Structure 1
Amino acid sequence: MTQPLQITRLSPPTFWRCEPSWSWESPVQADHLLWCVLDGRGHLELDGAHQELSPGVCALFRPGDAPRATHDPHRRLLVFGMHFEAPNAAVPEPRWGDVQDRELLGVLARTSDSAYRRGDALGRRQAELCLEQLIGLIWDAVHNPGRAVADTAVDEIARQLRQDPGREWSVAEMAGSAALSRAQFTRRFVAQLGMSPAQYLIQARIDRAHQLLTESGMTVGQTATALGYTDVPYFSRQYKQRTGRTPSQDKK
């Protein structure tokens, strides 16, 4: 079994707006450092590798790193970060990536800061959980750089299918929402999610049906109707194909 990464925050979450004359020649890092740009423009260097800095660019430095950075004094950097302890496996190569979801990046940074400054044990733990999520965002940005707008649109449509599987969905409608042809949308959907949109919708309906049957007190007929099935026997067959059990067997 894979053991979870042990990540421990070592310093308070901190925002700093770099002074106009600011430059950074870091001493050799003794621990890990999260470093996220929320505003401004600049330049970062580590071991001969270079990165232009702009909102969304985030770095994870390891012990032994000695990064250097400068910025445009007319577009001063706003940086969020904290020191932490973790296995080096938590830090990707290269050390930095461009986080596309800048809204989430900002929310996690602000939540970490405000939770920590409450001063209670739960707030400190919440700040640490935000740190773990930020590390995950950066890891994803490094390993899945520059995702196309269409890929993000497909992810969003898949989320909507899971959230509201009882709706009457059509592939043409989904493709239009993603600004793709039906063929392009279906190819991208299968590539990202491993099944066609129609099969994904069926799975989302069966997953929700299982939840309703086991938790809500709804009957098999009520569940089928709620999820867009007009034929209860057909619903039951799909349910058994996907779960290996009949709806009645799962009804609590």
Structure 2
Amino acid sequence: MLSHIFALFNHFVTQPAYNPSVQFDNVELVDRPWFPYLCTEVEHWQWNTAGDGHYNFWVVLSGDGYLTCDRETFRLKPGMFFIFSPHQRISANHFSGPRITRFSAHFQPVKSGNRVDLDTSFRLLGREALSVSTLRRRIDTLMRIAMRREDDPLLAEHLYQLICELCSGVEIASDVLLNPRVAEAMRIFREAPSTVESIDELARQVGVSRSHFDREFTRQVGQAPKQFLIHCKMIEAQRYLESSQMRVGEIAEALGYRDIYFFSRQFKQCCGLSPISYRKQIRAM
């Protein structure tokens, strides 16, 4: 069975001895057996890290979300991949739409049998594989190999081969790199939605007209800024209801609402339950 799996993997992955764009000739797996890791994240998933002491090969297999690294924000889509360097600051979020399914493998680069420190030019953010379906099959095969600890050398070899092919066969997915002004507005919406008094004021804050801001935000994010802001406020409201003892009126005020009834109607429209019913349901679980 395993021989069939390896043959299938080799059918989809060319086997370069060394790719000049990759400054190492193999990888050393880190955090076994927990990684490689494949999962579908929860609704409104968030991930924040100041970075670990290893490299992270990170692939989106399905879903919709956003990722920020090195002051650039990307709209995630299936087939995108990243290789994060040690200690990079990364944040990723899912707001709405299909949940994110991602693959992650922690590694250290190796050359001639020794760990190597890569120079800063080895930076892969927001690249896109040529074939999403082929990439999914390759990841599935990697995960099957990963189930057998005795096959770690083979797993490392195939992970390296996949990285080589992706590095040599793709271009940066420029259509998913958000305009810095749009990215900054998203950050404000996400991190401090209660501070946004009006979309007009936020547009002025990021240095564009309201009409231009509405048009560009909607084009790049797929949702009008007002709708996106409401969604961020409702996510915050859910967290307050789940993890605090604040009353509904206090939550509404904390999110910038002057009318508790308007807040409650908006919450029900977005979440399908009133704030009180939502809290009762969470506590009953």
Normalised by the length of structure 2, the TM-score is 0.45
| 2:62/2:101 contact within 8 Å kept | yes
Q: Larger relative contact order (C-alpha < 8 A, sep ≥ 6)?
A: 2
Residue aligning to 1:27: 50
What is the alpha-carbon distance in structure 2 between the residues aligned to residue 38 and residue 25 of structure 1?
19
**Deviation string for 1:151-209 (max 9, x for gaps)?**
xxxxxxxxxxxxxxxxxxxxxxxxxxxxxxxxxxxxxxxxxxxxxxxxxxxxxxxxxxx
Partner of 1:126: 154
Retained in 1: the 8 A contact 2:27–2:157?
A: no
- Structure 1: runs of 5+ lacking an equivalent: 147-252
- Structure 2 unmatched runs, 5+: 1-19, 110-116, 174-285
Matches within 5 A, 1:49-198: 49-86=72-109, 87-88=117-118, 92-120=122-150, 123-141=151-169, 144-145=171-172
Query: Kindly tell me: are residues 80 and 94 of structure 1, through their superposed partners in 2, closer, same or farther at Cα, counting changes over 3 Å?
Result: closer
- For residues 95-146 of structure 1, the C-alpha deviation after alignment (integer angstroms, 9 at most, x for no partner) is 33011122331122111111120232xx22222122112312332355x457
Partner amino acid for 1:65?
A: Q
Decide whether the 8 Å contact of 2:145 with 2:155 is kept in 1: yes
Output the amino acid matched with 1:138: L
1:36 paired with 2:66, answer no
AA matched with 1:83: H
Measured in 2, the distance between the counterparts of 1:56 and 1:91 equals: 22
% identity of equivalent residues: 21
SS at match of 2:149: coil
Equivalent-residue separation in structure 1 for 2:100 and 2:36 (angstroms): 17
Instruction: Look up the SS of the partner of 2:89 in the other structure.
Output: coil
* RMSD between aligned residues: 2.6
Q: Which residue does 1:195 correspond to in 2?
A: none
Q: 1:62 to 1:78 in 2, by over 3 A?
A: same
Are 1:16 and 2:39 counterparts? Answer: yes
Question: How many pairs does the alignment contain?
Answer: 143
Secondary structure at 1:134's aligned position in 2?
Answer: helix
Look at both structures and tell me which one has the larger radius of gyration over its CA atoms.
Answer: 1
